[in-house]
Amino acid sequence: MNQSEAKEQIQALRKEIEVYNHEYYVLDSPSVPDAEYDKKLRQLIDLEEAFPDLVTADSPTQRVGGEPLDAFVKVQHDMPMLSLGNAFDEEELRDFDRRVREGTSEPVRYVCELKIDGLAVSLKYEDGVFVRGATRGDGQTGEDITTNLRTIRSIPLRLKNRETIEVRGEAFMPKRSFDHLNEQKKQNNEEPFANPRNAAAGSLRQLDPKIAARRHLDIFLYGVGVWEDEPTEAHSERLKHMDKLGLKTNPEWKLCNTIDDVIDYVKGWENERPDLDYEIDGIVIKVDNLAQQETLGFTAKSPRWATAYKFPAEEAVTKLTDIELSVGRTGTVTPTALLDPVKVAGTTVQRASLHNEDLIKEKDIRIGDTVIIKKAGDIIPEVVRVLEDQRDGSEQTFDMPERCPECDSELVRLDEEVALRCINPNCPAQLREGLIHFVSRNAMNIDGLGEKVIAQLFKENLVYTIADLYKLDRDELLKLDRMGAKSVDNLLSAIEASKENSLERLLFGLGIRFVGAKAANTLAQEFETMEHLMEADYDELIALYDMGEKIADSIARYFDEPKVIELIEELKQLGLNMAYKGRKKSEQPTDSLFADKTIVLTGTMEEYTRSEAKGIVEASGGKVTGSVSSNTDLLIAGADAGSKYDKAAELGVEIWDEQQFKQALNT
């Protein structure tokens, strides 16, 4: 057999095998016996071994996993993977519906989907070929786990059409795979996984993809990040189109005309979920119409057009043996209940949140009480109530201390807050927690500087402030326990590399009260340099989009502090970058035809690809969206424009053809 004949036969075998894969793993309706599938796969393997030049990344043989990786590479999501707001009862679902209807003038329909308890991932296809898979990470940046995701046989390596699309979904471990895996772990005297979610996440974060391949994971795709030339105008249409592409969606979704229909769907699945072969922890409710989604928009953290209803938490009874106090980076003193170990929601719980002194008094919680605790998903367990009829008189009441448990400074309540705070700026606990926050993933992201290392450095008096991290001495570090030459060198390299981070990471890392990652990014983009931000007054800050009074006041007060000014100057002298490295507002053309305009591209252009046209518009200050709405300023239409053209005409949106687009660029 020559190369040309082998190529033809390989392509035919791949096509057959992918059809069998789709039938078995997606449709659950195999058309051939396992022996026939195995025979075809063996033929393909033999041919690819004989003709290695013909092996491609989308071949079914590549699902078994390659060589182990040294580490996962960080990747930037083309569009952020935001989390959803939560609803916990019928009243909150009706509040969500009310907010949606207030935000749009047209009738609203919802799509309800099962909320799979797994690991959120992104799959990117170019011209129909699977090219990259990533974890959600912090929503902006994830980890490249393409090799591990290829081992999931329900993920097509090639779509049925040559689409360029990025889809989102939930990778999970079916209950039968979970039971089989834990049985193997018991036989090997290994610690079993607590629940299928942890097992799925652990499998996909294995550096050896062969391990992921053996664990029989699955996936449901539920959304789109970026889709070139999207043909749909509703989320329900997206799900149907994704099915046609060969992507596995959950078949249990339902289109609901009213919030009452949504609530009926939720109640039904609260009872039926034990019958599923996979874990769900709630229901996701989304506005169906994509134009309405765009009109409703987003908060800093989540879309306004979707929410996640969480099923009632699991509860358990245990004994509260003590109450421990901890001091956070903002000085808040938080009580935590220490418990006799008890299993809740698949995990063993020994600690539970008590929030504050008022809650302890309100619930009359005493040391030695028998209590009910609850845990929902990843939420920290909390004490629900005390079983007073089980008291025997030995229980002890608990009073919050008047002085800080770390530095013995007087505790105060600020601005009528419930929480007690230590306001000593040199409190060791606050400094330590502040350092842990500074080096965390969403802040300066310094690999090798976890909580234990920070605590060790603090204990040995090697660090006291943020600036001290950048003054660490190699010889001093080598004297510490478990700090070999390679670990020390890697740590110092990571610290040095963090100096180049963009301004928003530094701002978030500083721990300014009320300033989260989103606000830090807004500030960095708006002011561009630390110097300009420090000069801004309250009025300038409050004028920014999504910048509330509390945040603006906190920032202004923070940069008024002499010690803060000294710290910033010291960090600058140590070589830390003080400028925003993203696309600056000052670089965006303000006199461009597209400046501050919302533009939709549709149809097929002769001289530009969709990506090229999108890039041109964005480089000229415009924002490109996928759906036509009343907020759309301009529709640029190529050939076969379809329903988006009709919608724009109906709404009176200005419409250009490709010739007008070209003329505008040349003037």
Q: Provide the terminal-to-terminal Cα distance of the chain, rounded to the nearest Å.
A: 59
Alpha carbon distance 265, 285 (integer Å): 10
Q: Of 115, 248, 375, 644, which is the active-site residue? A: 115
Alpha carbon distance 455, 432 (integer Å): 7
Alpha carbon distance 557, 570 (integer Å): 19
Please, which residues have CB within 8 angstroms of residue 332's CB and are 6 or more apart in sequence?
419, 420, 421
List, as own/partner pairs, every contact residues 513-517 make where C-beta atoms lie below 8 angstroms and the sequence separation is at least 24, other chains included.
513/330, 513/554, 513/558, 514/550, 514/551, 514/554, 515/551, 515/554, 515/555, 516/300, 517/138, 517/140, 517/442
DSSP for 455-515, written as a single string: HHHHHTTS-SSHHHHTT--HHHHHTSTT--HHHHHHHHHHHHHHTT--HHHHHHHTT-TT-
Instruction: Identify the residue whose tokens are 């005297």.
Output: 189
Is residue 115 annotated as a catalytic residue, yes or no? yes
For residues 4-20, one letter each, b for 16 or more C-beta atoms within 10 angstroms of the residue's C-beta and e for the rest, the string is eebeebbeebbebbbeb
By CB neighbour count within 10 A (0-12 exposed, 13-18 middle, 19+ buried), where does 239 fall? Answer: buried
Instruction: Identify the residue whose tokens are 């990786």.
Output: 69
Beta partners for residue 323, in sequence order: 337
Beta partners for residue 333, in sequence order: 327, 420
Amino acid at 600: V
Q: What is the chain's length?
A: 667
**Residue among 595, 631, 637 nearest 294 (CA):** 631
Give catalytic residue positions. Answer: 115
